Structure 1
Amino acid sequence: MPDVAQNRGVAISLFSGAGGLDRGAEDAGFTVMAAVEHNHDAADTMEKNFSHLQSPVIRSSILKVTSQQILKAAGLRPGQRPELLIGGPPCTPFSKSGFWLDWKREGLDENASLLQEYTRVLTETRPRYFLLENVYALTYKNNASRPSFERLLREIDSAGYHFSYEVLNAADYGVPQARPRLFIVGAPKDEPKPVLPAASHGGSWERRQSGNSEKPHVTAGDALKDLVTEPEPTEAVGGRYGHLLPEIPPGENYLHYTAERGHSDPLFKWRSRYWSFLLKLAPNKPSPTIQAQPGPYVGPFHWENRRLRVPEIKRLFTFPDDFELVGSRNSIQAQLGNSVPPLLAKKVAEAMIVDSRS
């Protein structure tokens, strides 16, 4: 458990994953005492890094877990409520790629009900504060309507909470990764309304070089400069396109091999692939969003023309170097790629509490 200046009370965690939100909440002063996570590798990761959990991680679908079980796991007696509820319900039905499917766009994917499981636990456990994270595509409008998002907000309101929400980019809060995510924070209506933090970082690398006083984004180079790592067996990029990486400049992608970019032997048509195809990190910029399940040619790749190593991905998410992840390499990639950067989670939790108690 990280050292904190103030113990703000018990937190319970839903859809915990590897614990990015949890680590951030603890860095902000809470103590996560109960967690629900059905993926066994992620649950093992939680137990490895949160040894103070009151009970083992509840390894079950939230659909089968009662609020009473969660409160008991946290060591709370009848009538006691947690100080904080955190969670990021799985976002598959709201991903940018899935949004365009009509049945998902209307909120009919059965996994969308996981949002309702969060509001169920919110209603039944009555925490003093809540923090919910999700993909920003949840807020996309279809014919001026956002059915799943609007239903979620109605349920939060019906539970007796007022709230603030905003899409925050992790890079604007000191995380060396450009990662936009939706955050909703709230408190009971008879308490002050929580707010989300103002951006702490911005400005370009060029401004930093010119001596501008604005706090710049933390770059991938900043994050990795002193990190010593061992090679990984699967880091080489082979196959049909792997040999193309060395010619691509840092920060660029497959578009380097197009006529529009002046390549003498164009291999791709303009905008014929996803932006992340053969995308390389630039040491003077934050990393692009790191995905949970990237394809064989989906970046970001290291500027040394290889896949990122686990310690490097941890740095780009702001997990501590000694944070241990359990599972296969693919499982670890998924756990990290689905995580909330702990530093961003910490700043959200701190702003929520400080502003609501001032």
Structure 2
Amino acid sequence: MKPKIVSIFSGVGGIDAGFEKAGFQTVFATDIWDVSCISLKKNFPETEVVCDDIQNIDFDAIRLKHGNIDGLVGGPPCPPFSKSRFYRKEKSRGIDDEDGFITISNYFRAVKELNPNFFLFENVHGFVFAPHKTAMDMLELESEKLGYKIFHKVLNAADYGVAQTRQRFICIGVKKALEDYIFPDPTHSNPLELELKKKRWVTCGDILNDIDFDLDEDVNMQAGSKHKEYLKEVPPGENYLFFTAERGYAKPIFKWRSRYWSFLLKLSPDRPSWTIQASHSNNMGPFHWKNRFLRIQEIKRIQSFDDNYIMEGNFKDQWRQVGNAVPPKLAEVLAIQIKKIYYTTTERYSKKMELLHD
């Protein structure tokens, strides 16, 4: 029998896709956005999907319906913990933000009611920044109170074969009676710092070149808005800083670090993509090295989704679903390690799991 997981803040199911490939079964998934819930139902037809506010989900009822739950997975919405919140002075940060407190407190309500053997908590790497110490303290205190020991680390998806330098905070909680969780060793590394026995990072050229062909629609997909002529001058792998005095541009157009990093950011076929954001913009990249917007099929590959994975909604809806997701390949690596440590076929582990649920 496959270990059973419950997924919350599921989005389009990036974590679930990875866990299912590792041999887990998602028995229940939930999100508040109806579009992503439709996508979830199509990609996980055997899963019970409920579209509702997390505060309305009855996890006791889920456990009664589906039996003992092995794991809880999910990433509470990240805006309160993101780097951009440092610049939004009109909004509170971390759990001082109402949404931040509601989502994290309900995450641990789910842990309490489901009583899983393990949980996976994902968020932006800014979660570990000093201004969010109260959130980290809450995570540690709630885990301790509920009988879990936690292991956390900021991981770069590119180090595990994803064609994207996407850094995420990952926290694995396991019941105190179980062995410690050990994060899997990276399998890939930056070619400039290539380590022995590791592969080089997967590049955008590696995953996109076979679908990078000229189409009539390319003309209508030219990016950059009013700055499109500038975008054409930006070399692959660079951004608006190319036009600054500090970079030696003869007649500087922009001031140093006066815009977001993604402004006029262009992919290079020779390195992984930068983080795919949840929102689509006319002048915020990354853009294709051919000066056009990326297609949904392309950002799906950058996020390591299978080509046949279904995204419902219009272009911006699909982009948002992909950009909000945890790369399935990263989730799969973490899930394989969980299965390896806690779900072996040995009698010792089988008996221990049964005792934990009694």
Partner of residue 36, structure 1: 30
Greater CA drift, 92-101 or 319-328: 92-101
Aligned partner of 1:4 in structure 2 is: none
Q: Which residue of 1 aligns with 2:92?
A: 104
Q: How many angstroms apart in 1 are the aligned matches of 2:13 and 2:294? A: 21
Evaluate the alpha carbon distance shift between residue 271 and residue 165 of structure 1 in structure 2; reply closer, same or farther with a 3 A threshold. same
Which residue pairs with 2:355 in the alignment? Answer: none
- Counterpart of 2:166 (choices 159, 179, 183) is 179
> How far did residue 213 of structure 1 move?
5.7
Q: For the residues of structure 1 that align with 2:313 and 2:272, how far apart are their CA atoms?
A: 27
Deviations, residues 186-210 of structure 1 (Å, cap 9, x unaligned): 21111112222121111317969xx
Aligned to 1:215: 199
C-alpha distance in 1 between matches for 2:273 and 2:189:
14
Task: Note if 1:65 corresponds to 2:57.
Answer: yes
Q: Residue type matched to 1:147 in 2?
A: T
TM-score w.r.t. length of structure 1: 0.89
Residue 177 of structure 2 is matched in structure 1 by 190
Say if 1:207 and 1:111 are closer, same or farther in 2 by CA, change over 3 A.
Answer: closer
What SS is found at the alignment partner of 1:152?
Answer: helix
Report the Cα offset of residue 339 of structure 1. Answer: 0.3
What does the per-residue CA deviation read over 1:226-248, in whole Å, with 9 as the maximum and x for residues that have no partner? 22676479622253212211111
What residue identity is the alignment partner of 2:23? G
Q: In the alignment, which residue of structure 1 is the partner of 2:331?
A: 345
Residue in structure 2 matched with residue 86 of structure 1 by the alignment: 73
Structure 2 CA distance for partners of 1:214 and 1:198, relative to 1, 3 Å: closer
Instruction: Supply the distance in 2 between the matched residues of 1:29 and 1:215 (Cα, whole angstroms).
Output: 25
Structure having the higher helix fraction is 2
How far residue 70 of structure 1 moved from its aligned partner, in angstroms, is 3.0
Once the 2 structures are TM-superposed, how far is the Cα of residue 95 of structure 1 from its aligned partner?
1.0
Render the CA deviation track for 1:279-337: whole Å, top value 9, x for unaligned.
Answer: 00011101001100143211100001001000000000010000010011111111111
Answering whether residue 275 of structure 2 is matched by residue 302 of structure 1, we say no
Q: 3-state SS of the aligned residue for 1:226? A: helix
Aligned mates of 2:210, 2:178 — CA distance in 1: 45
1:114 pairs with 2:103 = yes
* 1:132 and 2:124 matched: no
User: 2:14 — aligned with what?
Assistant: 20
| Cα distance in 2, alignment partners of residues 227 and 206 from structure 1 | 29
Where structure 1 has 5 or more consecutive residues not aligned to the other structure, the ranges are: 1-6
Hey, what does 1:225 align to over in structure 2? 209
Q: Distance in 2 between matches of 1:352 and 1:233?
A: 47
1:67 alignment partner AA: F
Paired residues for 1:152-301 under 5 Å: 152-204=139-191, 214-227=198-211, 231=217, 235-301=221-287
Greater shift, 228-237 or 95-104, is seen at 228-237
CA distance in structure 2 between the partners assigned to 1:159 and 1:300 by the alignment: 42
Residue 42 of structure 2 is matched in structure 1 by 48
Deviation at 1:129, TM superposition (A): 1.6
RMSD: 2.1
What displacement does 1:264 show?
2.7
Secondary structure at the aligned position of 1:86 is classed as strand
- Structure 1 residues 60, 357: closer, same or farther in 2, change over 3 A? closer
Three-state SS of the structure 2 residue aligned to 1:8 is coil
* Alpha-carbon distance change, 228 to 321 in structure 1, aligned in 2, over 3 angstroms: farther
Relative distance call for 1:107 and 1:257 in structure 2 (3 A) is same
Instruction: Please tell me whether the aligned partners of residues 186 and 193 of structure 1 are also in contact (alpha carbons under 8 angstroms).
Output: no
The answer for the alignment partner of 2:351 in structure 1 is none
Describe the shift of the 1:253–1:81 C-alpha distance in structure 2 as closer, same or farther (beyond 3 A). Answer: same
Is the partner of 1:132 in helix, strand or coil? Answer: strand
